[in-house]
Amino acid sequence: MSWSIHHVNLQARDVRRAAAFYTEILGMRKGRWAFPETRGYLPGDPDKLALMGDGRDGHSGLHLIAPDPDFAEKNDLAFNPSVGGHVAFRVDDLDAVIARLRAAGIRHSVTGEFAIPGLRHVYTEDPEGNLIEINGPVK
């Protein structure tokens, strides 16, 4: 199965200040979020969410997000991707990953097309407790 790192999500108490660091000091370019209007549960304002795009697609790169302690509950997830940061991997066969998680009895949350248009998501933890997101194309 092929995979790649799709994005790294960092928690930012002050999203604008963090975004300024990555743009002004590291020279990254701020990307644009393209969420359908139905994605109202995502923090879409620049005080809560910023994307430093890597040019591969509209959502790959570095994500900066203000922590929302109620995010998991509001979105029926077992894990909160807005707190503590996470890395997101893109795989070509998300169903195979889900089947292996289930077979191993590993706790996970499966979403449909949730945070990024065109991708389905799974949130889980590795054996060391690191939150990871695994993405695959919507079928």
CATH of residue 29's domain is: 3.10.180.10
The reply to whether the predicted model has a pTM over 0.85 is: no
Structure tokens at 105: 């009895």
Structure tokens at 18: 């963090």
Q: DSSP string of 65-116? A: E---TTHHHHTT-SS-TTSS-EEEEEES-HHHHHHHHHHTT--EEEEEE-SS
- What residues make up the domain containing 129? 3-137
Query: How many domains in the chain?
Result: 1
Strand 131-137's sheet: what is its strand order? 49-53, 61-65, 3-11, 86-91, 131-137, 119-125, 108-113
pLDDT tens digit sequence for 55-81: 777 678 899 999 999 989 988 899 999
Q: Summarize the confidence of residues 7-24 as an average pLDDT.
A: 92
pLDDT tens digit sequence for 73-121: 988 899 999 999 999 999 999 999 999 999 999 999 998 887 788 899 9
Check residue 121 and give its pLDDT: 92
Helix (H, G, I), strand (E, B) or coil at 26: coil
CA dihedral 100, 115, 2, 98 (to 10 degrees): 10
Structure tokens at 74: 């509001």
Q: Summarize the confidence of residues 12-17 as an average pLDDT.
A: 93
Judged against a pLDDT cut of 50, whether residue 38 lies above it is answered with no
Interacting residues of 54 by C-beta distance below 8 A, sequence separation 6+: 60, 61, 62
Kind plus residue range of the DSSP H or E element containing 20 = helix 15-20
For residue 69, give Cα distances in angstroms to 25, 73, 76: 29, 9, 13
Q: Which band of pLDDT confidence, cut at 50, 70 and 90, is reported for residue 35?
A: low
